[in-house]
Chain A
Amino acid sequence: MLITHAGLVIEVVAYPFSDSYTDAFSGLPTVTNLLAGALLLTALLIVWRRELRPIVFLLGVQGAILAALPILYGVRSANVELIVVGIAVLLMRALLLPTILVRAVAAGRAARRETKPLVGTAPSLLVCAVLIVVAFAVTSPIVELQPTASVRAAPAAFAVLLVAVFTMAARRQALSQVVGFLMLDNAITAGAFLLTGGVPLVVELGASLDVLFAVLVLGLLATHMHRVFGDTDVHQLQELRD
């Protein structure tokens, strides 16, 4: 079982590297590919694991990998703004947000384990493999428009996005949904860095603040939910329907 999983993971993660990159536009093609692949790998590991603590740890790792993109480009092109953005991303996505989530688990305000996800692990990984192929297919016009090294790695970010949406749909714990949401946001930020070298600072700032507040709101709601329902299984939320 484990071996098939690992094989699948390696196969899908290797996909972005199967193409030989000759274009060295950014000067960092290998590192870019490595980072984009690592983002996808962490996303798949999050799908694979069920214990919530390791999932949150993986999310932090993903945040750190994401932060490496602007920091590396910034150092290379001596662009201070990019380095600052990268450090802000590192602090928020690799430290602040995972800490908030780990505390929720540790304080018993959220379950420790995703015991009964709607989709099991093996089918989930298969679905993710399909989603990755879809992501690479729909993003082909982007790569064709500007086939530089960093843009060629962007489909991996789209793949993370689809995997994130799938995670949110397939999991039942409130915390898993928050992790899925943050992964989705990591994917969009990664896409922005890879495609455009990052959106303007003011937009990035606004977006990051919104995400931070959204997570705080969700955390607060989950706390209330735990108090009122005695659990954080979002599938109990079925009273409002037609």
Chain B
Amino acid sequence: MDLFVLLGPTAPAAAAALSALLGWHRISALGTASAAAAIGVSGVVLAARSGADPTYALGGLLRADSLSAIMLIVIGAVGTLASVAGITYLDGEIATGHISPQRGRLYATLVPAFLAAMALAVLAANIGIMWAAIEATTVITAFLVGHRGHRLALEAAWKYVVICSVGIAIALLGTVLLYFAAEHAGASPGQALNLDTLLAYAAKLDPSVTRLAAGLLLIGYGAKAGLVPFHTWLADAHSQAPAPVSALMSGVLLAVGFSALLRLAPVLEPAAGAGYLRTGLLVVGMLTVAVAALLLTVQTDFKRMLAYSSMENMGLIAIAAAVGTRLAIAALLLHVLAHGLGKSVLFLAAGTLQESHHSTSISAVRAVLARSRLVATSFAVGVAVVVALPPFAMFASEITIARSLADARLGWVLAVVGVFVVIAFAAIVQRTIGMLLGAPDADAPAIAVPRPVGIALIAGVTACLLLGITAGPLAGFINQAATLVGGA
């Protein structure tokens, strides 16, 4: 029994219960922020002391290894930024009567429930429970995406639930097939979905059934990670959700969806053949980067631009996973963390722009720097992070992914992906410069930054800079986690 393992899902669950009791209230919002911080702390503690063996809790239902610890750190970091920024988020709308207290209560309850589901997803020892937790994130966030209740929000929520539920249902079928293969290989029925059992039987699984399962799991969890072909919900949902929820969805939910594939890769590869899953990841990843880059070039909406940038980065993550060496996986994990921080800062800054301009159109926003130095600086830093400019950490992670591609004799992939990354870079930077610089019009609205959002922005920018300058002890944690997936 380990309290730090237990803390991940229970702290936010307690915060959700508190919010359900109190409704939208300063105390419940602070509870959510502390629960998010607690997830981060549990991640750091688990990473610091996890050796080769995983730690268990709740009679073996929860299982923490260094990969779970890194994911908990990402959930905690992004969750803390988003929930601190969200402390006063609904105050205005509730005061003016735009939102009923019941909706406020629902919002306050669902945000920590969302954190709890993500923590459970990365800690589940049973891949069936992992599946259920990831599906639960869809159901929980559906209300948050549709929170505003107007046409666009409803459209986004509907498409989100339908596409993600179908995608994730396909992953359930893959899970069932894996169970079938494990049972047939001799695993006892009660244990055949446990990660440790599956890892032990990985070499004995039937190759063709495992391949079928791997394909279904890739498509299914890929949908949740925003990978082609089920990527169409991503920009809609991420652009319609309230800013703190967008930060969580783009910054960490996509990565949690992808972490399911990282978990399953060592189970699938011995039987399906190392090349099988990796080819799938490579194809899907390259297509994702290409589609995202091309859609970025025609973007007129800044929240959708940020969403497609997330999609581009998930594509890069899939490519890194396809290479699959320890170096590539370490770069992948650093990429996930850096992208989570950068994208949260961006979505929170974008939220203040949306509030003040009542629009998310790129052409509606001009000369932000002249009106709010904080928002402009944060937005610029966030963009610098997600387009991988030095000194930020994604520069290091992308260079490392490139190097590992070259090492794996996948130079042609590097060349193709490089072109699309440059296209995406140009599209994002050009639009950002247009938004931030210039002289403001006389009738341009003032950009109000509520104090909690300001604090979150400053903290986020500081974290991005720190992570860029030195990964500190994180480097060791990341290397340890990378060994789990990529081998020594």
Chain A residues with a Cβ under 8 A of chain B: 138-139, 141-142, 144-146, 161, 165, 168, 174, 177, 181, 184-185, 188, 191-192, 195-197, 199-200, 202-203, 206-207, 209-210, 213-214, 217-218, 221-222, 224-225, 228-229, 234, 237-240, 242
* Contact string against A for B residues 118-158, beta-carbon threshold 8 Å, 1 for contact and 0 otherwise: 00000000101101110110110011001001111011111
Q: How would you classify the secondary structure of chain B's contact residues: helix, strand, loop or mixed?
A: helix
Distance in angstroms between the alpha carbons of A222 and B157 in the assembled complex? 10
Given contacts A196-B189, A228-B151, A242-B295, contact A210 B183 (CB under 8 A): no
Distance in angstroms between the alpha carbons of A214 and B130 in the assembled complex? 17
Distance in angstroms between the alpha carbons of A75 and B442 in the assembled complex? 79
Closest to A184 in B: B169
Is A165 a contact of B212 with CB atoms below 8 Å? no
* Contact string against A for B residues 371-400, beta-carbon threshold 8 Å, 1 for contact and 0 otherwise: 000000000000000000000000000000
B179 interface hit (Cβ, 8 Å): yes
Closest to A240 in B: B236
Closest to B124 in A: A206
New contact pairs (20) apart from A199-B128, A202-B129, A224-B146, CB-CB < 8 Å: A142-B177, A161-B173, A168-B162, A177-B162, A181-B162, A191-B173, A197-B189, A199-B193, A200-B126, A200-B128, A200-B190, A203-B132, A207-B131, A210-B132, A221-B146, A239-B152, A240-B152, A242-B235, A242-B295, A242-B299
The 25 sampled A-B contact pairs (Cβ below 8 Å) are: A145-B184, A145-B208, A168-B162, A184-B169, A192-B176, A195-B176, A199-B176, A200-B193, A203-B128, A206-B131, A207-B128, A210-B132, A210-B135, A213-B136, A218-B158, A228-B154, A229-B154, A234-B158, A237-B154, A237-B159, A238-B155, A239-B152, A240-B152, A240-B235, A240-B239
Distance in angstroms between the alpha carbons of A139 and B216 in the assembled complex? 12
Closest to A158 in B: B173
Distance in angstroms between the alpha carbons of A191 and B139 in the assembled complex? 23
B residues contacting the other copy or chain, number (CB 8 A): 54
Given contacts A192-B176, A210-B136, A221-B158, contact A181 B166 (CB under 8 A): yes
Is B177 a contact of A195 with CB atoms below 8 Å? yes
Closest to B308 in A: A242
B88 interface hit (Cβ, 8 Å): no
Distance in angstroms between the alpha carbons of A209 and B136 in the assembled complex? 9
Is B161 a contact of A214 with CB atoms below 8 Å? yes
Distance in angstroms between the alpha carbons of A56 and B120 in the assembled complex? 34
Chain A residue numbers with a CB within 8 Å of B156 are: 240
| Of A188, A206, A225, the contact of B158 (CB 8 Å cutoff) | A225
Chain B residue numbers with a CB within 8 Å of A209 are: 132
Chain A residue numbers with a CB within 8 Å of B161 are: 214, 217-218, 221
